[in-house]
Amino acid sequence: MKTVTALRHTLVSLRDLLISAGPIALLTLGLLALAYWWLDPNPPKRVTLATGPAQSAYDEFGKRYQQALKRYGIQVVLVPSAGSRANLRLLQEGKVDLAFVQGGSGDATANGNSGNSGNSGIVSLGSLFVEPLWLFYRADAAKKAPGGELTSLVQLKDLRVNIGARGSGSPGIMRRLLEANGLDPAKLELSRLDQTAATVAFLDGQIDVDVFASAPESLMVQMLLQTPGVRLVDFSQSEAYARRFPFLTPVVLPRGVVDLARDLPPQDVRLVATTTSMLAREGTHPALLQLFTQAARDIHSPAGWFNRAGSFPNIEHGEYPISREAERTIRSGQPFLQRWLPFWLANLVERMWLALGIIVAVTLPLTRIVPPLYQFRIRSRVFRWYGRLRDIENRLHAQPGEAPELVRELDALDEKVGRITVPLSYADELYALRNNIDSVRRRALGGAPAAAP
């Protein structure tokens, strides 16, 4: 019985406390819901990434990003395309969220400008890797060239050259390089086959030179570098090309890097390369940008044929504004909270901490009214009966002859007050009320006139 009574008093106390703090709690929850709706901290579960042709480096890297984000519950849908320029167009039209894009693919760089202010609504997650411009030629096609080797683009004027499929990055780059060498692309025998068809035609002798821009991870590049009778144009003027075209970088394919045992290539080969970036629509969720940049650090930071470990990703060679999320991740790595908490929780705290601070600053002063309000509710449960007791006492003073009836009212009042439940810390006020009721009852039973209140 004592346990039941104690539990009853505890529940009453909790109920009154909840009622007193309820408006502030509802206000806090409302502000939190509003902040959550406005900030939208959790990223969507599905995102689209434009890659490139099958078996290309873009396709291979896309699969790695797909696996990297899968562990966070993000589905990366890979969208194949003809290449870099097609990816940029898909991004500008809002058909994909992110895309691999080579330097020099935009309209601004087409005219030799390094900026790309004309392409608003697109941000960069940084430079990921270099893509050399590979000019493979068959040894028998260069018999008339001095030394039997192609060393200049001028020597292409009498050869059948495939410059890549429409939508890829290499045709635009090759046209600008040919024009810089005084060659009119319209007067050359150029074809626009995709990588697979071009490689088949190249090995079959239907074309003399096969050109494409791709990372060395491309299966086509790996195969052609090891195919007997296939050579690679050495860009002896690579530094000059890089000075003329800001989106190009001179790189060197080191001797033996393809196959040390076979010493392939047999000497250093100078090349020019574009830097490929991952671009995103400006409205892409910040958490997704952060996750893709974290994945980029894992995928592209190891040493490669043309870079040392840790060289990529970076914020250099940018034609587009760098996303703040990407820049912070590239500079600082994984956020501190994500190292210790699940991604969804760390991301929620990271993106809402400022809103939480503001909400606390607003609601904290309001919590000071909870204790007085709680005290008022408890005491009013007792004090409201004093009005009834005063009325009875006044009637007893004015009409002593009605004492028996007033005693019955006092008994009824005492019974009602006896059913009042208050926390034990306020029991003294309840017993004070009952003592006052008993004092008035004794006066009525003794026939003595009550003192005027």
- Binned at pLDDT 50, 70 and 90, residue 311 comes out as confident
Mean pLDDT of 183-191: 90
pLDDT in tens, 249-298: 999 999 999 999 999 999 999 999 999 999 999 889 888 999 999 999 99
pLDDT in tens, 93-106: 999 999 999 887 76
Residue 37 has pLDDT above 80, yes or no: no
pTM: 0.68
Q: What is the per-residue pLDDT for 75?
A: 95
Cα separation, 46 vs 281, whole angstroms: 15
- More confident of the two residues 123 and 336: 123
Give, in words, the CATH class of 46-334: alpha beta
Q: What is the per-residue pLDDT for 418?
A: 77
Q: What is the per-residue pLDDT for 113?
A: 42
The region that residue 191 occupies, defined by phi over 0 for left and psi between -120 and 50 for alpha, beta otherwise, is beta
Instruction: Map out the domains of the chain as residue ranges.
Output: 46-334, 384-446
- Binned at pLDDT 50, 70 and 90, residue 117 comes out as very low
Q: What is the per-residue pLDDT for 319?
A: 80
Which residues have a Cβ under 8 Å from the Cβ of 418 and sit 6 or more positions away? 434
Residue 199 has pLDDT above 60, yes or no: yes
Q: What is the per-residue pLDDT for 115?
A: 45
Residue whose C-alpha is closest to residue 178's, from 133, 115, 116: 133
CB 149 within 8 A of CB 232: no
Tell me the angle at which helices 427-446 and 370-383 cross, rounded to the nearest 10 degrees: 20
Average pLDDT of the residues of the chain: 82
